[in-house]
A = this chain, B = another copy of it.
Amino acid sequence: MDITALLTSAGINIAICVVLLSLYSVLRKQPSNGCVYFTQRLVSEPVKYSDPFCLERLVPSASWIMRVWQATDEDILAVGGVDAVVFMRIVVFSIRVFIIAAMICIFLVLPVNYYGQDMQHKQINAESLEVFTIGNVKEGSKWLWTHCLALYIISCSACVLLYFEYKSITKMRLAHITGSPPSPSHFTVLVRGIPWSPDHSYSDSVEKFFSTYYPASYVSHQMVYQAGTIDKLMKDAEKMYRMLKTIEPQCGKSSMPCCLCGGTTHSFKVLNNEAESVKSKTSVDGLQPTQREKERPAAFVFFRTRYAAVIAAQVLQSSNPMLWVTQLAPEPHDVYWSNLSIPYKQVWLRKIATLLGAIVFMLVFLVPVTFVQGLTQLDQLSHTFPFLKGILKQKYMNHLVTGYLPSVILILFLYAVPPTMMLFSAMEGNVSRSERKRSACIKILYFTIWNVFFVNVLSGSVISQLSVFSSVRDIPIQLAKAVPAQATFFTTYVLSSGWASLSCEILHVYVSKYESGGQFWPIVHNTTIFSLVLTQIIALGVFGIKRSPIASGFTIPLIFFTVLFNEYCRQRFSPVFKRSPAQVLIEMDRQDERWGTIEEIYNQLRSAYCQYPSISPDLSTAGNTSHHEDKESSQDPESLTPGNQLVKLNE
C-alpha cells in the first residue's frame, strides 16, 4: 500500500467525521430532540430555540465544540458525576500521549526511518508506506538510539501522566465517597449461602444470626424470593388489567365481573376490574401462606452505620466459607434479582464455565479474523476468487479494498461480541447489573486485545501451525518481525475505526445508570501499562533484529522500571478503588448522626430493596414501566424510592 491509499482512507474518514459532526450540530438544535440531548439540563432550565422556522436551526455551527472545550472538570463533575470526569480524563490522557508520541515520531523517528538506507527516494506521494517504518533502517545502524530515546520519552511521559491522573482520580473518588448523599446501598449487605434448617425459615435464620453476632448494628433484613412465580403473577395481573382496560369502553362502564378460568398457568379464578383488588389479592391473600416456601437463601441485611456494613461485608462470617457469604449490596435499582436466587455454591462453577465459554468463543472468532487478514493480502484474494480480478484491477477499488474494507468487516464482526459477552456475564451469576456489564466489558477488552492485535499480527504464521511462539526467548523477536510487517494494517485500522467510529458515538446519548466513582480507572491504567510494556518488548525485538545491542540494553531497564512503576501505583492507589477506608466511613457516620439524617435513612432502608416494585399506584402507566427482571429498565432510579412503591410484599 502506498501513501495514496492511506490518504484515500483518511479522506473518507474525515469526510464521514465532518458530516456526522455537522449532523449532530443541526440535530441538537431541534427542539424535538431537546429531551434526548439535554435531559438533565431540561429539568433546570427551559429550551432556548423556541422559533420553529429559524434558519439558524438548519445551519451547522461549531460553537458547541468551543463550549465543550472550555468545560472544566468541575463542570463535568457537576453534570455527569465522577465516572464522566474519569472518562473525559481518559480521553484527555490519550490525546496528550498521542500528541507527545506524534511530535517525537514526526520530528525524530520519521526522518531517521526515511533516510535509513542509501536509496533513491521517489516523489513523496508515490512512496510506499514501508519507507517510513523502522523496517527501512539498516541493520546495526547507529541511528537506532533515536528510536530508543523516543521510546524512553514516550514511556516516561506516559508514566508521569498516568501517575498524576491516578493521583487526581483517587482524590476525586475519595471526595465522591465523602460527598455522596446517604444511599441505602451504603448500609446494606447482601448475604448469600444462608444455611438451610428444618426448624426455621431462612428469614428466621438471618434474624437470629445477625442479632446474635451484630446486636449493636443490625437493623433489619429483606429476603430474596424465588423469581418466576410471583413474577408471573405480576405479569398476568398487568396483562389482565390492560385487557380489561380495552374491554371497558365496550362494556359501557358497567361493573361487569369477568370470569377468566384457565389459560395461563398462574391465572386468577374470578376477577373484577378494580386494579386495587388485584393488588390486594396478589399481595395479601395469594402470597402470605406460601411465602416461606418461596424464600431463597439470600437476603439484604441492613445495618445502623456504613462502617458496620463494610465490616460485615469484609469479614469471613462462618467457619464454612460457603455459608453466610457477605458482600456490600449493589444499589437498589442495580440489583440483578434473577441471579440472586442462584445458590452460592454454584457461583464458582458458573464462573469457570463462563471463562471456558469465553475462551472457546475467542478461538472460534479466529475464522472471520483470518478472512479479514486475507483481504489485506490482495494477491492471495484475487487468486482465491478469480471473478474479483476485474474489479480489483481498477485502481480506486484496489485502494478501497486494501485500505478500508478489512477494518470495516472486522468492526462489523466485532459488533457481535458485546451481546455474546453480556450473555456470558449474565450466566456468570453476578448479583448486580453494573457488575455484569463490568465483567462483560473486561471480557470484551481482553477479547479485543487478543483478537485485533495478537491474532492479526501473528495470524500469518500462527493459525496455520498453532505454534504461537517458537520459544519464550523469541517472543520479542517474533513480535518484532510481525508488527512492522502489519504496520500498514494498523494505520488503516486506526484511521477508519478511530475517526469514523468515534464520530459515530456522537448520532448516541449515554444515560449514566450507575455511578461507580471512577472504579474503572485501574483497568484503564493496567491496560495502558500493558500496552507500554508490549511496545517496549516489541522494540526490544526490533533492536535485536537490527543488531543494536546498546539500544536493546537500554530497553531492558525501561521495561523493568515501567513494571516497577505499575507496582508502586498498585500499592499506593488501587486499594482505595477496592475498599472504602475506615476513617472516611466513620467520619461520615458521625456526620449523619450529628445532622440527624440517620432516622430518614432508616425509614428509606426498609423499603429500598423491594423485589417487585413494578406495579405503581396509577396502573395506566403499567405499559411504560418495563419488566424489571430480564432487560435493562429505562425507568428513573428515583421511581424506586418508597414514595412510589405501594406494593411491598414483605413488610
Residues of A whose CB lies within 8 Å of any CB of B are 174, 213, 310-311, 314-322, 324, 348, 352, 466-474, 564, 567-568, 571-576, 579-584, 586
Given contacts A317-B583, A321-B571, 18 further A-B contacts (CB under 8 A): A174-B319, A314-B315, A316-B575, A316-B579, A316-B582, A317-B582, A318-B581, A318-B582, A318-B583, A319-B581, A321-B573, A321-B575, A467-B471, A467-B472, A468-B471, A469-B472, A470-B470, A470-B471
- A579–B325 alpha-carbon span in the complex (Å): 14
A-B contacts, 25 listed (Cβ < 8 Å):
A213-B586, A311-B315, A314-B314, A314-B315, A315-B579, A315-B582, A316-B576, A316-B579, A316-B580, A316-B581, A317-B581, A318-B581, A318-B582, A319-B584, A321-B571, A321-B576, A322-B571, A322-B572, A467-B470, A467-B471, A467-B472, A467-B474, A469-B472, A470-B471, A471-B471
A315 in complex: contacting residue of B310, B322, B324, B471, CB < 8 Å = B310
Measured between C-beta atoms, what is the minimum distance from A572 to chain B in Å?
A: 6
- A567–B322 alpha-carbon span in the complex (Å): 13
- A568–B583 alpha-carbon span in the complex (Å): 36
- A36–B486 alpha-carbon span in the complex (Å): 72
B474 A571 Cβ-Cβ under 8 A: no
- A317–B582 alpha-carbon span in the complex (Å): 5
Query: How many copies of this kind of chain does the complex include?
Result: 2
Residue among A318, A319, A473, A579 with the highest chain B CB neighbour number at 10 A: A319
A469 B468 Cβ-Cβ under 8 A: no
A583 in complex: contacting residue of B213, B322, B468, B564, CB < 8 Å = B213
Q: What residues of B have a CB within 8 angstroms of the CB of A352 in the complex?
A: 564, 567
What are the 5 A-B residue pairs with the smallest beta carbon separation, nearest first?
A: A467-B471, A321-B575, A316-B579, A315-B582, A319-B581
B473 A471 Cβ-Cβ under 8 A: no
Q: Given A467-B471, A472-B469, A576-B319, are A348 and B567 neighbors across the interface (CB < 8 Å)?
A: yes
Q: What residues of B have a CB within 8 angstroms of the CB of A576 in the complex?
A: 316, 319, 321
Measured between C-beta atoms, what is the minimum distance from A208 to chain B in Å?
A: 12
Q: What residues of B have a CB within 8 angstroms of the CB of A572 in the complex?
A: 320-322
- A311–B310 alpha-carbon span in the complex (Å): 10
- A469–B470 alpha-carbon span in the complex (Å): 7
Residue among A474, A568, A572, A581 with the highest chain B CB neighbour number at 10 A: A581
- A471–B571 alpha-carbon span in the complex (Å): 35
- A94–B315 alpha-carbon span in the complex (Å): 35
- A376–B324 alpha-carbon span in the complex (Å): 57
CB nearest neighbor in B for A575: B321
A472 in complex: contacting residue of B320, B468, B473, CB < 8 Å = B468
Q: What residues of B have a CB within 8 angstroms of the CB of A316 in the complex?
A: 575-576, 579-582
Measured between C-beta atoms, what is the minimum distance from A479 to chain B in Å?
A: 15
A348 in complex: contacting residue of B320, B324, B568, B579, CB < 8 Å = B568
- A572–B321 alpha-carbon span in the complex (Å): 6
B583 A319 Cβ-Cβ under 8 A: yes
A469 in complex: contacting residue of B321, B471, B581, CB < 8 Å = B471
CB nearest neighbor in B for A321: B575
Q: What residues of B have a CB within 8 angstroms of the CB of A467 in the complex?
A: 470-474
Q: What residues of B have a CB within 8 angstroms of the CB of A320 in the complex?
A: 572
- A472–B466 alpha-carbon span in the complex (Å): 9
Measured between C-beta atoms, what is the minimum distance from A154 to chain B in Å?
A: 24
Measured between C-beta atoms, what is the minimum distance from A476 to chain B in Å?
A: 13
- A581–B316 alpha-carbon span in the complex (Å): 5
Residue among A321, A324, A573 with the highest chain B CB neighbour number at 10 A: A321
Q: What residues of B have a CB within 8 angstroms of the CB of A573 in the complex?
A: 321
Measured between C-beta atoms, what is the minimum distance from A565 to chain B in Å?
A: 12
Measured between C-beta atoms, what is the minimum distance from A301 to chain B in Å?
A: 14
- A584–B324 alpha-carbon span in the complex (Å): 13
Q: What residues of B have a CB within 8 angstroms of the CB of A471 in the complex?
A: 467-471
- A324–B584 alpha-carbon span in the complex (Å): 13
- A474–B574 alpha-carbon span in the complex (Å): 38
CB nearest neighbor in B for A356: B560
Measured between C-beta atoms, what is the minimum distance from A307 to chain B in Å?
A: 8
Measured between C-beta atoms, what is the minimum distance from A483 to chain B in Å?
A: 20
CB nearest neighbor in B for A583: B318
- A469–B473 alpha-carbon span in the complex (Å): 9
Q: What residues of B have a CB within 8 angstroms of the CB of A586 in the complex?
A: 213
- A43–B593 alpha-carbon span in the complex (Å): 58
Q: What residues of B have a CB within 8 angstroms of the CB of A472 in the complex?
A: 467-469
